[in-house]
Amino acid sequence: MRDIKYFMFSKKIGIDLGTTTVLVYIPKKGIVLNEPSVVAVSLADKRVLAVGKEAKEMLGRTPDTIVARRPLKDGVIADYRTTEAMLRYFINKAVGGIRLFRPEVMVAVPGGITSTERRAVIDATISAGARAAYIIKEPVVAAIGADIPIGSASGHMIVDIGGGTSEIAVISLGGIVSSSSVRIGGNKIDLAIQEHVRRKYGLAIGERSSEEIKIRIGSALYLEEKMEMQAKGRDMITGLPRIITVTSDDVTDAIQHELQGIIEAVKDVLHATPPELSADVMEKGMVMSGGTSQLRNLDRLISEATGVPVFMADTPQLCVAKGTGIALENLESYKRSIFSS
């Protein structure tokens, strides 16, 4: 009887533990949280002061006694204790402060993580208050969230580009046939923009400014009608504040190396795909998901580089979170995808 009661009241939570954003999905409710994966910590007593949106506001603006950091780097845990605190905050916020039962949690992780890194995610999730923790590979859940029928005997290609990693996979019969995981994503693109502005204009800009430039005027291909915006920062020579005008061409120049890395990874997966599945991919095209996949003309660039049609998933930044929720609701159906990972 106790087990029945436990089953009735235990919650299930799907978490897209991203390098830049954490999304939390609860079955039948949908996405309940979408916040930056940033934690602000007091250096004096190592106390967590803020998590999520509130902590992101502090990035680059904290006094010496406080540090605002991203506990995940390239899609994996870089700071275990801070990740655990962040997971606890999101789990508590998702299920409500007072909880009688520990939830079951499914976490999406990059396809290329090691067994040690996977173990760290499970341990951190259990320590943060989960009754059970399941790990599932991001390309699989991104495909589920993008409504790709991964269980069919047919090749489906997913390209999931997030903040820390790009996950590329060909999936058939619920399993990954060929895949690649490269630690290139939105963060590396932001850093490339910062570096370009510093070199070309002698201006130091922050992480948030480079992200804003990428979103507002960034393009993977040169635009016929150039876009421009003002960027504020610190002059590298005088040390004084200065405003410059940055163009979309600047961004395209800055990010070529990173985009080339993603294209090479896509080509590697296509090279490793058996002929029958290659024919399926050519016929259906590849599906793009992840927040960074929304960079202007990135779909066109990948299509031109590979000769394969590229389609954008609906709400690409939510695919992984939606997929974890669907997989959690149908654990039996997706057991192979989970445990083969």
Range in 3-7, 162-166, 258-262 with the lowest mean pLDDT:
3-7
CA–CA distance, 62 with 58 (Å, rounded to integer): 6
Token digits for 94?
């998702």
- Is the separation of the CB atoms in 90 and 15 below 8 Å? yes
The residue type found at 297 is N
Residue 211 confidence (pLDDT): 94
Place of tokens 């974890």: 324
pLDDT band at 6 (very low <50, low <70, confident <90, very high): very low
The position carrying tokens 């800055």 is: 254
Q: How far apart are CA 30 and CA 205, in angstroms?
A: 36
Global pTM value: 0.88
pLDDT tens, residue by residue, 266-316: 999 999 999 999 999 999 999 999 999 999 999 999 999 999 999 999 999
Q: How far is CA 255 from CA 63, 90, 93, 228, 269, in A?
A: 32, 33, 36, 16, 22
Per cent of the chain over pLDDT 90 is 62
Is 3 a residue whose pLDDT tops 50?
no
Helix H or strand E encompassing 278: helix 275-284
Q: What is the DSSP letter of 70?
A: -
pLDDT (mean) for 234-241 = 95
Residue with tokens 């400014």: 209
Which of these, 207, 169, 205, 168, lies nearest to 184 by C-alpha position? 168
Cα separation, 177 vs 159, in Å, equals: 14
Range scoring the smallest mean pLDDT among 84-88, 158-162, 189-193: 84-88
pLDDT given at position 171: 94
The owner of tokens 């058939």 is 172
Residue 4 has pLDDT above 50, yes or no: no
| pLDDT, position 5 | 39
Longest dimension (CA), the chain: 73
CA distance 283 to 332: 30
Average pLDDT of the residues in 63-70: 87
Strand order in the sheet with 66-69: 48-51, 39-42, 66-69
Inter-CA distances, 89 with 49, 83, 130, 147, Å: 11, 10, 12, 30
- Average confidence (pLDDT) over 151-157: 92
Q: In this predicted structure, what is the pLDDT of residue 194? A: 97
Cβ–Cβ < 8 Å for 111, 169: yes
What integer is the mean pLDDT of 133-146?
Answer: 92
Q: What percent of the chain has pLDDT over 70?
A: 94
> What's the CA gap between 300 and 24, in Å, rounded?
30
Mean pLDDT of 22-32: 90
Secondary structure (DSSP) of 175-241: EEEEEEEES-SHHHHHHHHHHHHHHHH-EE--HHHHHHHHHHH-BSS--SS--EEEEEEEETTT-SE
**What tokens does 102 get?**
């520990």
The domains of the chain, with CATH numbers, are 2-36+74-140+320-339 (3.30.420.40), 148-184+255-315 (3.30.420.40), 188-212+222-246 (3.90.640.10)
Q: From CA 336, how far away is CA 172, in angstroms rounded?
A: 12
Find the mean pLDDT for residues 155-159: 96
Q: Residue 1: pLDDT band by 50, 70, 90 thresholds?
A: very low
